[in-house]
Structure formats: structure tokens, C-alpha cells
Amino acid sequence: MKLSPQTIWPFAVIPLVVLFDQVTKWLILAEPRLNGLICLHDKTLCGKIAVPGPVDLSMVWNRGMSFGLFQSEGIMRWVMAGLMAAIAIGFFFWLLRAEGCWLKASLALVVGGAIGNLIDRVRFGAVVDFVDVNELTLGYFPWVFNVADAAITIGAILLFVDQFLLSRPKQANSLKQG
């Protein structure tokens, strides 16, 4: 791979996503009204801050994967961390060989988000979630998420668009020529 602005930009996206994710989580954990570090190990409820508008800040520790699936503690925490690391590494190697800006952007977002959540899992045994859009979605999306989750979701959508919608014309042209 030749280094140039056209090839290196996705590798700048990864640390930007991680940095933005970790800074926002640090700010959330530093906010006393959210009770973040206390409710990690204690059975007390974490806090919530109503923000003007349809999005609130709700501190939640996610011990599972996306949207709280597969909750785990103890040794399974490390299994989950290993799985997340393996996925991030796999997507990183795919990014090294990727062509096309949509594919590169999607993979960079997924890798950055996975690393951001992996840092939390290793540090705390759980991931800091705080963006609560329940009011915005009229209760149809009751989950709380973070910047890393948003990056992974946007990356997955872009990956779908690239692989299934944008690549169809290429596939159709190659079939006509063949």
C-alpha cells in the first residue's frame, strides 16, 4: 500500500473516533449527578440528566455487546474483550486491503468504535453508555449508547451500502462483459 492522502485518511479516522469516544466517556464519568463510577460496582442506580430537547444523558454500564446483548462478567468479560479485539483486528486488516472511500470509511468507523468500547471493557469490565434517545424515538429505541456504538452503527450501515448497493452496478457490468 502506497502512503498518500488518498490512502492514509482512514487511519486518521480511527484515532479520532477513539479520542472523541473516550473524551465523552471521561466527561460523563466526571459528572457527579450521573453517579457513574459509584454505580459500576454498587447496586445503586446510575444518574440521569434531562437535557433540553429529545436526547437525555443516562449513565448505564453495558456488560454485554451492542444494545446490551450477551451480558457477561467474570471470565466472560475477557472472552468478550478478546472477541471484540479479534473483530477489530479483522476489520483493520480488511481496511489495509480496502479500495473505495465508502468501504474505507465504514471499516475505519467500525475499528475506531470497537477500540473505544474495548478500552472500557478492559478498564472497567463494562462499557460506558450515556446517550438516551428514548424520547426522540417515542419509546421505540429504549437503548442507551455511546460515541463508539454510533460509529460502529454508522460504519455498519456504510458497509452495507457499499457491499450491497454500490457494488451491484459493478457486479452487473462484470456479468455483461463476461
Helix axes 147-160, 5-30, angle to 10 degrees: 150
Q: Are 120 and 127 in contact (CB under 8 A)?
A: yes
Cα Rg, the chain, nearest whole Å: 19
Distance of CA 102 to the CA centre of its chain: 17
For residue 177, what is the DSSP state? Answer: H
Measured CA distances, 12 to 78, 128, 139 (Å)? 28, 24, 36
Strands (E), the chain: 48-49, 56-62, 127-132, 144-145
- Residues catalogued as catalytic: 129, 149
